[in-house]
């Protein structure tokens, strides 16, 4: 592997931000797009993700609102906030950062968000539209970001074997639906914690996507020579040398796997920035719909 094979998510995300900034400026709209963020509790990773999403939205010329609810918030209280944002015409887009504390029902929460403000694409309405390959679906940001990264990095998907490790609502399921769509045309396998012969399944992949949340899940023996490897994991592991006390690693044993790959995403700086870029793209799309543009 050489540096040419590293997929630079920061650079691709930056180009998308620039494209969106230009598009937004060209709209001559009477107001800015507005995205509302809801965070429940103080999970450090969620604090940092929401802060990043908010700062990028402002950098590209959007407004944002942040609602922070206490860890012990009940479902009714959260529902009331969602309902008020659903009804607020000045809010185009809404995102409730996951994971939610355990007393809250994530599925019910995501389904409560009005479909045309659901820029996360987690509601059954948007997932249904995605399944139907309807262009009006808001598609979950991480899967859509991965597809954009593949496209902009010149990775062929048509007819290729893609293996997705992980079946979550946020990444695995929508990503599998996207990759098998007409136009992308991959042959998709979804593996998960109960899959037998994981190494054998993975070793057949032309495109291997790890979305597990466990360091070193993908080791060199699981990767076919020349495969493209996309690492969705963002795991914090203790690190005394870092001021924060931790460092970020993905789900892939990067140093061992990278030499076998045609392309690979680093952590950090791979998929993460793309999630934010697609959130911005979805928010602009929601705004344009609300403005009738």
Residues that bind ligand GUN in the complex, under the rule CB under 6 A: 95-98, 120, 141-142, 170, 275
From 120, 206, 231, 251, the catalytic residue? 120
In the DSSP assignment, the letter for residue 22 is H
Nearer to ligand GUN, 95 or 201 (CB): 95
How far apart, in Å, do the first and last CA atoms of the chain sit?
45
- For 58-114, the DSSP string reads HHTT-EEEEEEE-TT--HHHHHHHHHHHHH-TT--EEEEPSSPPTTS-HHHHHHHS-
User: Phi, psi (5° rounding) for residue 235?
Assistant: -110, 135
**Known catalytic residue at 204:** no
Q: Are 23 and 281 in contact (CB under 8 A)?
A: no
Residue 98 Cβ, how far from ligand GUN at the closest point, in Å? 4
Q: Is the CB of 141 or the CB of 227 nearer to ligand GUN?
A: 141
Cβ 108 vs Cβ 126: under 8 Å: no
Q: Is 90 left (phi over 0), alpha (psi -120 to 50) or beta?
A: alpha
Please state the closest distance from residue 120 (CB atom) to ligand GUN, in A. Answer: 5
Of 32, 97, 206, 263, catalytic = 97
Closest distance between ligand GUN and the C-beta of residue 163, in Å?
21
> Toward ligand GUN, which CB reaches closer, 50 or 227?
50
Q: Give the nearest distance from C-beta 8 to ligand GUN in angstroms.
A: 20
Catalytic residue check, 132: no
53 annotated active-site: yes
With CB atoms as reference, the residue minimizing the distance to ligand GUN is 98
Nearer to ligand GUN, 94 or 223 (CB): 94
Q: Decide: helix, strand or coil at residue 215.
A: coil
Strand pairing report for 263-264 and 228-231: parallel
Could you give the residue numbers annotated as active site?
53, 97, 120
């Amino acid at each position: 592997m050489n540096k040419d094979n590293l997929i630079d998510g920061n650079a691709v995300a930056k180009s998308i931000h620039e494209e969106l900034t230009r598009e937004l400026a060209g709209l001559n709209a009477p107001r800015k797009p507005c995205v509302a963020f809801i965070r429940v509790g103080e999970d450090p990773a969620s604090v940092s993700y929401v802060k990043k999403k908010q700062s990028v939205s402002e950098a590209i010329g959007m407004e944002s609102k942040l609602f922070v609810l206490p860890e012990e918030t009940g479902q009714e209280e959260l529902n009331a906030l969602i309902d008020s944002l659903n009804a607020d015409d000045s809010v185009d887009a809404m995102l409730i950062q996951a994971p939610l504390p355990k007393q809250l029902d994530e599925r019910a929460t995501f389904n409560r968000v009005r479909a045309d403000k659901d820029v996360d694409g987690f509601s059954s309405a948007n997932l249904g539209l995605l399944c139907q390959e309807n262009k009006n679906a808001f598609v979950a940001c991480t899967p859509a970001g991965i597809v954009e990264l593949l496209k902009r990095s010149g990775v062929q998907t048509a007819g290729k074997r893609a293996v997705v490790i992980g079946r979550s609502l946020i990444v695995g399921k929508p990503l599998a639906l996207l990759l098998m769509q007409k136009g992308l045309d991959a042959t998709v396998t979804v593996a998960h914690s109960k899959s037998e012969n994981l190494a054998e399944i993975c070793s057949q992949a032309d495109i291997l996507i790890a979305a597990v949340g466990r360091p070193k899940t993908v080791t060199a023996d699981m990767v076919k020579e020349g495969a493209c490897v996309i690492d969705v994991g963002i795991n914090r592991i203790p690190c005394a040398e870092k001021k924060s006390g931790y460092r970020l690693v993905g789900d892939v044993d990067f140093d061992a796997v990278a030499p076998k790959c045609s392309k690979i995403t680093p952590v950090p700086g791979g998929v993460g920035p793309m999630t934010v870029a697609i959130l911005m793209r979805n928010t602009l799309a929601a705004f344009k719909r609300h403005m009738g543009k």
